[in-house]
Amino acid sequence: MIRLGKNILEKNNKQLELTYCMRKFSSGFSKDGQNRFQPEHVDANRENPIKKTLKILGSDMRSVKNFIFPKSTKTSSDDYLEKYRREDFQSHCDVLVIGGGGVGSSIAYWLKKRARDGLNVVVVEKDPTYQKASTCLSVGGLRQQFSIVENIQMSLYGADFLRDVKELLGDDVHVNFTPHGYLMLASEQGAEQLQENSKLQNALGAKNEILSSTKLKERFPWMNTDGIALGCHGLEKEGWFDPWALLSGFKKRAIEYGAHYVQGEVVGFEFLTKHDILTDNVDFGQYQGIDRAYIRMKNDEIRDIKFSLVVIAAGAQSGNVGRLARIGTGKNILSVPLPVEPRKRYVYVFRCQNDNGPGINTPLTIDPTGTYFRRDGLGGNYLGGKSPSPEEEPRSDNLEVDHSYFDSHVWPNLARLVPNFEAIKVQNAWAGYYEYNTFDENGIVGPHPYYNNLYIATGFSGHGIQQTPAVGRAISEMIIDGEFRSIDLTRFGFDRILVDQPLYEANIV
């Protein structure tokens, strides 16, 4: 290419010299066309030398254009790809994110924020209305009251992100953060652990206080403190917000940065033997990788996307997606499943008779049984519920609400803690899915130990929405930087499942 350009420039320089000489020659003609010098040698039919020079230059430039932009001969394959381009369907991408909820959209946002045109990111989401998404059916809590360092760090970052959300996601994103804190209550049995948790949280940058039974009664006169030994009250960076607004903000900004969202469902992968890859527990030449996903579109058409990297962030359905990739159905490492499944949880909206319940500055309160409630706006409504015990676990094949569960398992605990809740009436209710990690109820974040191009971000078991900013950033660091840089989430990797080392929260719901 360089040699061609040099030859053309040399040729053009000669033509320019010729043009200059011809101009000097033409100046020897008088106005009546007579040559002042040697008219007998001039051919009247000869082509104008300036026009001839311009023709030569034009021919040279066409040669350069054809060299740089050669005309293509379209094939049936080209027509196939062109169809996808017209419909904005990305048949190839650098990163395929399976799941466009809070976690998946946060991953897309962070990848495109950091790499922009350097990465082609495609997000596959089955339901763009998010009617059954865990993100939108949660109560949107934000707290640092955990016993595991990484969970505390992720939620602290989540609080910082929400504080700066308009700068990060746009002025039109209104998460409506309500900073009334959390109030975790403990019986004598759990009091010591609650104190230990509080010390760790404050050492990491959270701010909360331990209140005795007497102090609790003084601070919250609506509370019956019988059976309550201590309470941990969050003073900063805790409360609740609108999960839908956060999800919408992630998605909007990711699309603005160039991410592509596809409505469809991943139904399979293509497996390809790669003889040049050697991994543990796999014979040489027997490694089978994945680099293509099959998508069922909303019109039931099956299309495929070829990718370099893929991230499973499909929420409650992540375990099913894992099985499509032979995680849990293969041999050796692949015989260990991704332990995430949907678990149904109920949220009840109720009202206290004569509006005699706790005031608008009441924190989200959780009693020793795991029953919780918080105010919902200024109209006198409350949200409440309780995670069931293993024996009480409801069927998860639908999202129908069991109202009898409120009467038998939620209301008695609420009425015991708040006497004015003796007379409450359920106004509304809904059911949503937890992306429940059956191994230890904590998130699974990072690369899969078998596949060299598959990452996981799922299994947060009800804590996910507050951790979406940190998880999205963490996955982007793994992909772009090759390691966790902001918060080290190595312990949250899939490897802990292989070696049977669960990370249990202590005295935390």
Q: What is the pLDDT of residue 285?
A: 66
Q: Is the pLDDT of residue 61 over 70?
A: no
Q: Is the pLDDT of residue 82 over 60?
A: no
How does residue 242 score in pLDDT terms, banded at 50, 70 and 90?
very high
Q: Is the pLDDT of residue 484 over 70?
A: yes
Q: What is the pLDDT of residue 60?
A: 53
How does residue 71 score in pLDDT terms, banded at 50, 70 and 90?
very low
25-29, 334-338, 501-505: segment of lowest average pLDDT: 25-29
One-letter identity of residue 316: A
Q: And the tokens for 275?
A: 């003889």
Q: What is the pLDDT of residue 27?
A: 41
Does residue 17 sit in helix, strand or coil? helix
**Is 146 within 8 Å of 198 (Cβ atoms)?**
no
Per-residue pLDDT tens for 338-355? 999 999 999 999 998 777
**Is 270 within 8 Å of 292 (Cβ atoms)?**
yes
Q: What mean pLDDT comes out for the span 370-396?
A: 91
Q: What mean pLDDT comes out for the span 295-318?
A: 97
The alpha carbons of the chain give a radius of gyration, in whole angstroms, of 33
Phi then psi for residue 165, to 5 deg, are: -60, -35
Mind giving me the DSSP string for 430-476? EEEEEEEETTTSS-EEEE-SS-TTEEEEE--TT-HHHHHHHHHHHHH
- The rounded percent of the chain whose pLDDT value lies above 90 is 71
Q: What is the pLDDT of residue 277?
A: 73
- The rounded percent of the chain whose pLDDT value lies above 70 is 81
Q: Is the pLDDT of residue 197 over 70?
A: yes
Q: What mean pLDDT comes out for the span 75-96?
A: 65
Q: What is the pLDDT of residue 259?
A: 97
Q: Is the pLDDT of residue 448 over 60?
A: yes
Q: What is the pLDDT of residue 203?
A: 98
d(C-alpha 282, C-alpha 82), whole Å: 39
CA distances from 57 to 21, 50, 99, 124, 376 (A): 17, 11, 55, 51, 76
How does residue 451 score in pLDDT terms, banded at 50, 70 and 90?
very high
Q: What is the pLDDT of residue 6?
A: 42
Per-residue pLDDT tens for 139-196? 899 999 999 999 999 999 999 999 999 999 999 999 999 999 999 999 999 999 999 9
In the chain, what are the domain boundaries? 1-18+50-61
Q: What mean pLDDT comes out for the span 79-107?
A: 79
Q: What mean pLDDT comes out for the span 311-332?
A: 96
CA 169, 174, 175 angle in degrees (round to 5)? 90
Strands (E), 134-212: 141-142, 182-186, 208-212
Q: How many CB atoms lie within 10 A of CB 106?
A: 33
Nearest of 255, 328, 306 to residue 100 by alpha carbon: 255
Q: What mean pLDDT comes out for the span 354-375?
A: 93
Q: What is the mean pLDDT of the chain?
A: 86
More confidently predicted of 301 and 32:
301
How does residue 497 score in pLDDT terms, banded at 50, 70 and 90?
very high
Q: What is the pLDDT of residue 292?
A: 98
Q: What is the pLDDT of residue 281?
A: 66
Per-residue pLDDT tens for 12-34? 444 444 444 444 433 443 444 44
Q: Is the pLDDT of residue 304 over 70?
A: yes
Q: What mean pLDDT comes out for the span 316-339?
A: 96
Nearest of 453, 438, 270 to residue 338 by alpha carbon: 438
Q: How many CB atoms lie within 10 A of CB 502?
A: 11
Q: What is the pLDDT of residue 48?
A: 57
